[in-house]
Amino acid sequence: MIARLRINWVILRTCIEERLVYRADFAFATLVRFLPIVTQIFLWGAIFAVHSDQPKQKLNGYSYDDMIAYFLLAMVARAFSSMPGLATGVARDVREGTIKKFLIQPVDFLGYLFWHRVAHKLVYYIVAVGPFALVFFLCRDYFSGWPDNFTIVGFLISLPIAFLIGFLIESMIGLVSFWFLEVSSLIFVYMMLNYFLSGHMIPLDWLPAPVNAWVIYLPFKYLAYFPASIMLGHYTHAQLINELLIAGGWILILAVANRVMFIRGVRRYGAFGG
């Protein structure tokens, strides 16, 4: 156990140092991601016709302020759940044969991927905490007020849940490369579905009843919609506890699926390339 903790610490520290090598480029790329916020504010301002003589008061139960607040909160959740390059990186390691170094060394491949992503998020939020604080300060009038402490705690718990589910889904897609070396098409399909089913595009409760009835049971909503809805007060305390338990169940299912796919994939792996 101590040896494994020491290995994980070395991986985390090394990955953080790796991210800080090109810190100027990383910081610039992080700051650029805030530009779509301006687009969203103008877009929904046009949809609600806020500058016209007859602005729309509500759309599907959301006011203009609610929509801006929702997308700001969804942006925070997506900052935790998005895993750029994870699936493609796994597929590349399998295709080029570089994954075999994890098979001959005392380093768990899935564990390495996990700590590598933790390091990425830590550095990301060190850079982004200032811009996030500034954005929320400037947009504070879109929020009606603070929810109760129980809801805030639920929101804080939902963020690492979003990270874990996002990580496990993308790593699982990457592991498909043990069977199909080229998974770029699968990744593209997943990104499109993720953008829609996570609630990043529109709130999931805007979907019609036949679709909403099954979408809410998928793990994608925990990537963006669930954390944002918590802070907007869409869940009672009992509903919030129930949703957190369901999310925990999804994490367990996805973790087991990742481990099973990795073990079976290694059995058929030819270790070509590299």
Nearest-angstrom CA–CA distance, 82 and 163: 7
Burial of 25 (0-12, 13-18, 19+ CB in 10 A): exposed
CA dihedral of 184, 187, 189, 193, whole degrees rounded to 10: -170
Q: Determine the pLDDT at residue 30.
A: 65
* Choice among 8-12, 123-127, 174-178, 227-231 with the minimum mean pLDDT: 8-12
53-81 per-position pLDDT tens digit: 777 878 878 888 889 999 999 988 988 99
Q: Determine the pLDDT at residue 217.
A: 86
126 to 26, 30, 167: CA distances (angstroms): 11, 10, 20
User: Which band of pLDDT confidence, cut at 50, 70 and 90, is reported for residue 50?
Assistant: confident
Please report, rounded to a whole number, the percentage of residues in the chain having pLDDT higher than 70: 92
User: Which band of pLDDT confidence, cut at 50, 70 and 90, is reported for residue 42?
Assistant: confident
228-273 per-position pLDDT tens digit: 999 998 999 999 999 999 999 999 999 999 999 999 998 887 765 5
pTM above 0.95, yes or no: no
Give which of 83, 69, 37 is closest to 203, Cα–Cα: 69
128-138 per-position pLDDT tens digit: 788 788 888 88
Structure tokens at 96: 């080029």
Nearest-angstrom CA–CA distance, 142 and 5: 44
Place of tokens 């998005």: 82
Q: Determine the pLDDT at residue 261.
A: 94
Nearest-angstrom CA–CA distance, 213 and 227: 19
Contact 229, 200 (CB under 8 A): no
b/e map 70-96, b = 16+ CB within 10 Å: bbbbbbbbbbbbbbeebbbbbbbbbbe
Nearest-angstrom CA–CA distance, 227 and 78: 10
Q: List phi, psi (to 5°) of 54.
A: -130, 75
Nearest-angstrom CA–CA distance, 258 and 251: 10
pLDDT surpassing 60 at residue 185 = yes
Residues with Cβ within 8 Å of 60's Cβ and at least 6 positions away in sequence, in order, are 203, 205, 206
